[in-house]
Amino acid sequence: MKIYVYSLILILLMSTSCEDFLDKAPKGNLTSGNFPGNADEALLAVNGVYNTLRIWNFNTGGFPIIDIMSDEVRKGSNAGDAIWLNVYDDFTFDQGATDFESWWATLYQGIRRANLIVEKVPGLQDLDEDLKTQYIAEARFLRAFFYFELVRTFGDVPKVLSITPETSLSRSPVDEIYNEIIIPDMEFGVLNLPQKDEYPLKDMGRITSGTCSGMLAKVYLYRKDFINAEKYAMEVIDSKKYSLDPDFSNALSVEGEFGTGSVFEVGAAAEGFNEGGNQYANTISVRGTPNLGWGFGRPTYELIQEFGSDPRADATILFVGEVLDGVEIEGDISTPDTTYTDETKTEILEVECYNQKVYTPGDEPRYSFGHNRRLLRYADVLLMAAEALNENDKPVEALFYVNLVRERARGGNENILPDITQRNKDLLRDLIIDERHFELALEGHRFYDLVRTGKAEEVLGPLGFKKGTHELMPVPLSEINISEGKISQNDGYDL
Amino acid sequence: MKLMFNKVLKIVKAMVFLGLLFFFSNAYAQPRVISGKIIDAADASALPGVNVVIKGTTTGVISNLLGEYTIQVSGDDAILIFSYIGYEKLEQSVAGISILDVNLKQETTALDELVVIGYGTVRKSDLTGSVSSVKGDDLIKIPSSNPLMALQGKVSGVQVSSSSGEPGGAAIVRVRGVGTLNNTNPIFVVDGVILDDVSFLNTNDIASIEALKDASATAIYGSRGANGVFIITTKMGGFGKEAQVNFKSELSVQKLQKEIDVLSGREFAEVLNEITPGTINNLDAVADYDWQESIFQENPLIKSYDLSFMGGSDKMGYYLGAGVYDQDGIIPKSTYKRYNFKLNTDYQIKKNIKVGSNMSASYIDDDNAPNVVISAYRAWPIDEPYDANNNFAEVRGTGNPLAAIEYSNSNSKNLRLINNTYIELTLLKDIKLKSSYQLDYSAQREKIFSPEYYVSPTQQVTRNSLSLDFTEDRRWIWENTASYYKEIGEHRINAVAGITAQELYYESPGMTVNRLINEDPTFWYVNAALSDTVYVGDSPYETSMSSFLGRVNYSFNGKYLFTASFRADGSSKFESNNQWGYFPTFATGWNISDEDFFPEVDAIDNLKIRASWGIIGNEKISWNDRYSLIGNDFGAVFGSPELIQSGATFSGTGNDLLTWESTYQTNLGFELNAFSNKFTAEVDFYRKETKDILVYLSVPGYYGFGSYAKVRFNAANVLNRGMELNLGWREKKGDFFYSFNVLATTVHNEVLELGATSPSDSIIYAGSLSNGQRVTATTVGNSIGYFLGYRIQGVFQNQDDLDTYPSIYGQKIGDLIYEDVVKDGVINEKDKVEIGSPIPDLIYGFSATLGYKKFSVSMDFQGQYGNEIYNGKNQTRFSLYNFEGKVRDRWNGEGSSNTEPKITSLGGNYQTSDYFIENGSYLRLRTLLISYDLPEKLMEKAGLGKSIIYLRGTNIFTLSSYSGYSPDIGGFDPLSTGIDQGIYPITSAYSLGINVTF
């Protein structure tokens, strides 16, 4: 009989089963939906927007392709490395180039992270109203900045203002993006964000009112609205929160991080990405010995020659054989010291050298992850002011600001870089663009400057630049394909 | 068994001798009576019910309860046939004798041998599924830590390849092709416990492995069956079995099978001068250092010792096994030690209650090999390892491999406990209720220490670091089944039904610290760190599954067989609306040779036809594919001084609509036994189509999911079809016995659908080399993960060629000409075509055993045909490295070579192309075993029983044109297999062993 009792127990045991058993939530991980749900999470989410600035692909897709397109930079590294990048040296890229795809997607990734703040933070109950406004302003500026990168690179782009993406968007006109997102978002920041010195020291590097004004000045230059460009550039200057570090090299060095001339800068630590590192400089910095990076984006031989006696060359271009901080730059064994255009070796194509603006002391790749990328420097603001003032027929003031930059560059040597005195608007415009060329070389500005001032064909034509096409980059082919054609292509790229 | 066989043989011989004697002396017929007793040769127990028939007549009797029989025969020339189910048929002459006692030997190749299937056993003759069986004796032929490596070339339909030759390296097992784009590993059921990995198992403890291949066999495992199921049964003593002690000791010496042919110092110097004239001024003064020789140890040993006890009393049975496996790798610091303990017990506690447990414990101490195979391959042969002060010198190209070994310290220790405890009640004689609780617990600790050192600017560490990672993997399964077995006349029913639940918990916290106060091993602890930066991580998850299962086997008259089974699985990996999957199967078998209409062919003992259809699933997908998570690794750096502030935001996008992948499999099989069961043949044709395969599809970039973000969908569809053949012949003739076996498998693998949402999804690129170049592609209409690249058309011989054919990346005269397939005048992605496939057309093996008296020799050959290997290590060049020997035939002027380009270290010639494709077909002498049974008398004197001493060679030779260490190259990711990126060499081994039983 016992056996039946046992059996009964077993059968009863067998039939126990419950639905909850199959419900297993993630462990130690929030899921999207209720995030951010409180004040602490709101700060985390805001920092998450800034985090986008350290994503490798945020930097023109990863490799410095926009610089490579300019006359300042060639592909770099050794001849066989990442050869697909050669297409940016001679403008033979097409819409399938994946660098655009990852760049585009990363900018939208930043936009989504910013939209998360704009969408969720206003509803948080436990968040102080001032802080709430500040968080939203920080996120909105960054959103505007990502959109600005998009429109100046790709032109019309899909307009996304929500974290729940609409599924069949087409491209919105550039003007709409500027007028409905970029300008209002940045203006909101100008009005609602603290000045640089109003943040506690630990928050140095957050978006300031000055960052917003400076970027707005740039936005208006691209819009050719020189009145507003002047206005916002002068706001930065008149705020007296910024000045030029007397030493040009400090504007970009590790020592000069978050220095007096820093308007918009991406903080980074000499660690891996998760711990705060940024691979931007590692991609560009010295390849070989010391082992700081991959060596992409080599300064052109032309740039070296154009610098002439300009002392800024020394802090811009790092030559093989130079000794910095007691370390000799030996470079890469697979890269010839000098490469010629042909077998007869009469004309130099390039010499092995590196971008010194991203140089970090040390002899390990890790150190280059600590370089703070400067997205907006005070010198840039001064030159923008000069440019706008010149366009607004105020050559005297324009000359004052451009000469401030030259004076600092001179480093006390009165025999070089004399003050510019040209007052002819057209000629002065060229001189200011040239000044930007030398002051801001290798920092990602040159190509855009040439395009927006209409000089691209003249300067870059010999490299392969085609007017009417290369002013804008191709919309990633994947984007067009997935949208089944709802997303259109820019002129000259559709095959 | 062999002992008994010998005894029987002796008796038979004696009888035959006597019979002959009588035949000649008394050669005329005369009716008389023969009587005798029939006993079991193994345990001398009486055999009642044995058929005793006079050959050539229908006259016969049956032995009584005591095994006794009496029969009248017509004369001396009569021959008696003794037959009994499960025993070998015996024919005996009666010439000159009136008392004939007979020992019958249990049949080993019987059709009525029981085959282990999921949740039960079935007679081989009643089997409707495709199941292959390998006995433990066959497995221990390979000196490997992983029992699965021994299946190579042993089971039709199963491909086993190596992920690495590193001690403890995993075996990659594929059953009937690659059925999914995701995890395609089979499951293993060890004494009823469902496991994903059995590398911890001691081969010596295994009694048999059954490979379940078709849906009929695997569908009872439902969502886990699609990639095949291996049922592993460990050894067990039986009730009333005499105690048996077995000791085994084996010592093996390993050898590198071959070195890769690379340039010598002088040759390399010449090449350097061609690349950059004048680099080396005096070619006679350069060093010539063999880096491969420097990193490989000479004669590393494998030592293994096993001790086991097996037996039982009338109410209990036991097996107790202990083993040590200790292997030194061919590369220093890659030692693998494993300690195994196994205890199986069964108790008949009441007449109808049985309880038991199967317990395994293993402890593995594994030094992870330094990653130097590729650096030794690349190192400049003109550089020496040490400088004048005997410090490590800079080795150009790759860093100093010997320094890399010196500074590598990586060890993992793993404790794994598996227990299955069950209780079984027998109810009403025919019904059995069984409840079993299975626990699988694994704890691992991995420690990696990197000291501070300086060899060269590219090979240095400026601050020491210690990483410590713990992994806890804990799972339980509770299975409750009821089984029913009934024979009513011609009907035989065998049914099982059950409910199971299981849960898995995983966590792997880890940390890395820097700047230990001292580098001595006694300080390799995190509390010795001076730096306060600690890097931490964890990846916890929990999954669960509950299931309902049932199966009915029905056979009528032993001729007509039917099987139907069903399983429903619910998994926490899917949202509640789609978390249940249903997996039915139907199968039928027909023992056609038992039919009256089947022609009487003496040679044919049995012919069976079987067919099956079923749906099985694959639940081996990640736990988090359905969730959109918020990650908290997204900090930003602010402040002066700079500090990271934590950040959190979207991390990955899930799809809550995901559901099961399901595989529809049909199978048609034929089994033939002939010539008194000496010949066996089994042929299976299979077709399996996997639908709703999870693939990552592109989403618009403006969704903001990140660069290259993809979301998983159930979208793709893959077909595998082919044939399996298994032929065997075994025979004993007097003192001589021999057997042959041949098996072959063909696989046709084809992707039917990829669910492309955009043209960029119509091709899945994979097979990334370490420089990011991708060499495989998966597209509709082709096999999974084929090699995609340019076809070489020749070498640019002159300016004319260079003007005629398109080139890329500044190619010059002497470089490779890539075929402009689309003929648009440029070489680009569109010109890439299929240049090979890692999936073999044919996998085969054959073996032979020859024995005479106490000697036996056996050989196993194993191979595959029709696949290619991608020599990725040769293509991946970040810098100037040493070159493979084939560059000796390089182009050096017009007309000199049209296949081998001029020397370049980087650039155009290093595109993915068939220049790097090599033939992957091979035939390997997997083992050669010579064994000798030590003389029994001698052993008995020493108090021992049957003892064997043997010599064995493993991987003795490999016929292959592949330039690398070994053509046996697998890959866990089905999209990226067959790519050699510097695999740890697979060695050959020579072993001496002794196996003593007492």
How many whole angstroms separate alpha carbon B153 and alpha carbon B703? 49
Q: How high is the pLDDT of residue A6?
A: 62
Mean pLDDT confidence for A59-88 = 91
**Burial (CB count within 10 angstroms: exposed 0-12, middle 13-18, buried 19+), residue B606:** middle
pLDDT digits (tens, 9 = 90+) for B747-779: 999 999 887 766 667 888 888 887 778 899 999
Give residues with Cβ within 8 angstroms of B143, minimum separation 6: B250, B252, B302, B304, B952, B954, B989, B991
Nearest to A3 among B427, B435, B759 (CB): B427
Mutation target to probe the A interface, by most A beta carbons within 10 A, among B637, B653, B656, B790 is B637
Cα separation, B85 vs A316, in Å, equals 93
Taking CB atoms and an 8 Å limit, are A22 and B878 in contact across chains? no
- Domain ranges for chain B: 2-104, 114-234, 624-653
The class (CATH top level) of A37-193+465-495 is mainly alpha
| Residue B511 in contact with partner chain A when CB distance is under 8 A | no
User: Is pLDDT at A384 greater than 50 in this prediction?
Assistant: yes
Return the higher-pLDDT residue of A478 and A221: A221
**Is residue A453's pLDDT more than 90?**
yes
SS3 B633: coil
pLDDT band, very low/low/confident/very high, at B133 (cuts 50, 70, 90): confident
The tens digit of pLDDT for each residue in B554-576 reads 999 888 999 999 999 999 999 88
Residue A259, min C-alpha distance to chain B (Å)? 10
Cβ contacts of B646 on chain A, cutoff 8 Å: 44, 47
| B483 contacts in chain A (CB < 8 Å) | none
| B12: pLDDT strictly greater than 70 | no
As a whole number of angstroms, the distance between CA B16 and CA B493 comes to 43
The mean pLDDT value for A391-405 works out to 97
CATH of domain B114-234: 2.170.130.10
Q: Hey, which residues 587-646 in chain B have their CB within 8 Å of chain A? A: 623-624, 627-640, 642-646
Q: Per-residue pLDDT for A321 more than 90? A: yes
Taking the Cβ of residue B535 and every Cβ of chain A, the question of whether any pair is shorter than 8 Å is answered with yes
User: Are the C-beta atoms of residues B789 and B911 closer than 8 Å to each other?
Assistant: yes
Per residue in B782-834, pLDDT (tens digit) is 999 999 999 999 999 999 999 999 988 778 899 999 999 999 888 888 899 99
* Interchain proximity B638–A204, CB inside 8 Å: yes
**Interface mutation target, options B474, B478, B621, B703, chain A, most CBs of A under 10 Å:** B703
What average pLDDT does the segment B509-532 reach? Answer: 91
pLDDT classification of A11: cutoffs 50, 70, 90: low
Shortest alpha-carbon distance between residue B656 and chain A (Å): 12
Query: Which residue of chain B comes nearest to A160, CA vs CA?
Result: B702
Contact B704/A at CB under 8 A? yes
Give the chain A residue nearest B540 (alpha carbons).
A27
Instruction: Quote the strand ranges of B808-880, DSSP E.
Output: 816-818, 833-836, 842-852, 855-865, 868-870
Name chain B contacts of A33, Cβ cutoff 8 Å. 628
Domain ranges of chain A: 37-193+465-495, 233-264+377-456, 274-371
> Considering only CB atoms, which chain B residues are within 8 Å of A109?
704-707, 709
Contact B640 A257 (CB under 8 A): yes
Give the minimum alpha-carbon distance from B452 to chain A in angstroms, rounded to a whole number.
13
The alpha-carbon gap from A303 to the nearest alpha carbon of chain B, in Å, equals 24
Sort A382 into a burial class: Cβ within 10 Å, 0-12 / 13-18 / 19+.
buried
Highest mean pLDDT among A137-141, A320-324, B895-899, B978-982: A137-141
Contact yes or no for B615/B637 (Cβ under 8 A): no
> Can you give the pLDDT at residue B418?
94
Nearest C-alpha of chain B: how many angstroms from A393? 40
Answer whether B58 touches A (CB < 8 Å). no
Residues of B in contact with A169 (CB under 8 A): 700, 702
**Residue B110's pLDDT band (cuts 50, 70, 90):** very low
When pLDDT is cut at 50, 70 and 90, the band that residue B974 belongs to is: confident
pLDDT at B17: 39
Q: For B835-884, write each residue's pLDDT tens digit.
A: 999 999 999 999 999 999 889 999 999 999 999 999 999 998 878 899 99
Burial class, A343, CB count within 10 angstroms (exposed 0-12 / middle 13-18 / buried 19+):
exposed
Residue B417: burial class (beta carbons within 10 Å; 0-12, 13-18, 19+): middle
pLDDT in tens, B896-943: 999 999 998 877 898 899 999 999 999 999 899 999 988 878 877 877
What pLDDT does B86 receive?
65
Distance from CA of B334 to the nearest CA of A (A): 28
| C-beta separation of B572 from A26 below 8 A | no
For the ranges A145-149, A274-278, B547-551, the maximum mean pLDDT occurs at A145-149
Set of chain A residues whose Cβ sits within 8 Å of the Cβ of B541: 24, 26-27
pLDDT for the residue numbered B168: 82
B276, B649, B910 ranked by CB distance to A116: nearest: B649
pLDDT over threshold 70, residue B308? yes
Give backbone dihedrals phi and psi of A264, rounded to 5 degrees, phi first: -145, 115
Mean pLDDT of B338-357: 93
Minimum mean pLDDT among A233-237, B172-176, B420-424, B926-930: which range?
B172-176
Average confidence (pLDDT) over A46-57:
97
CB pairs under 8 A between A and B: 279
Least confident residue range of A242-251, B209-218, B518-527, B581-590: B209-218
From the CA atom positions of chain A, what is the Rg in Å?
26
Which range, A71-75, A491-495, B310-314, B703-707, has the best average confidence (pLDDT)? A71-75
CA distance B236 to B243: 11
Residue B748, token pair as written in the block: 């046709």
**CATH number of the A233-264+377-456 domain:** 1.25.40.390
What pLDDT score was predicted for residue B248?
92
pLDDT, tens digit, for every residue of B936-969?
788 778 777 778 899 999 999 999 999 999 998 8
The most confident of the ranges A466-470, A484-488, B200-204, B653-657 is A466-470
DSSP code per residue over B413-457 = EEEEEEEEEEEEEEETTTEEEEEEEEEEEEEEEEEEEE--EEEET
Architecture of the structural domain at B2-104? Sandwich (2.60)
pLDDT greater at residue A287 or residue B152 = A287
Higher-confidence residue of B652 and A128: namely A128
Give me the mean pLDDT over the B686-703 stretch.
Answer: 90
- With CA atoms as reference, report the closest residue to B367 among B332, B401, B400, B394: B332
This model of the complex carries an ipTM of: 0.94
User: Cβ separation of A334 and B458 shorter than 8 Å?
Assistant: no
Find which of A7, A88, A350 to mutate to test the B interface (most B CBs within 10 Å of its CB).
Answer: A7
What is the four-CA torsion angle of B963, B964, B966, B970, rounded to 10 degrees?
Answer: -120
Could you read off the pLDDT of B380-416 as tens digits, one per residue?
A: 999 999 999 999 999 987 889 999 999 999 999 999 9
B24-76 tens-digit pLDDT = 444 444 578 888 888 877 666 777 778 888 887 878 888 887 788 888 887 77
Whether the Cβ atoms of residue B988 and residue B968 lie closer than 8 Å to each other:
no
| B114-234 and B2-104 share a CATH fold | no
pLDDT of the residue at A14: 52
- The pLDDT tens digits of the residues spanning A336-370 come to 888 888 777 888 989 999 999 999 998 788 899 99
Q: Give the nearest chain B residue to A54 (CA atoms).
A: B636
Q: Note the pLDDT of residue B25.
A: 41
Average pLDDT, chain B: 87
CA distance to partner chain A, nearest, from residue B191 (Å): 21
Contact A241, A405 (CB under 8 A): no
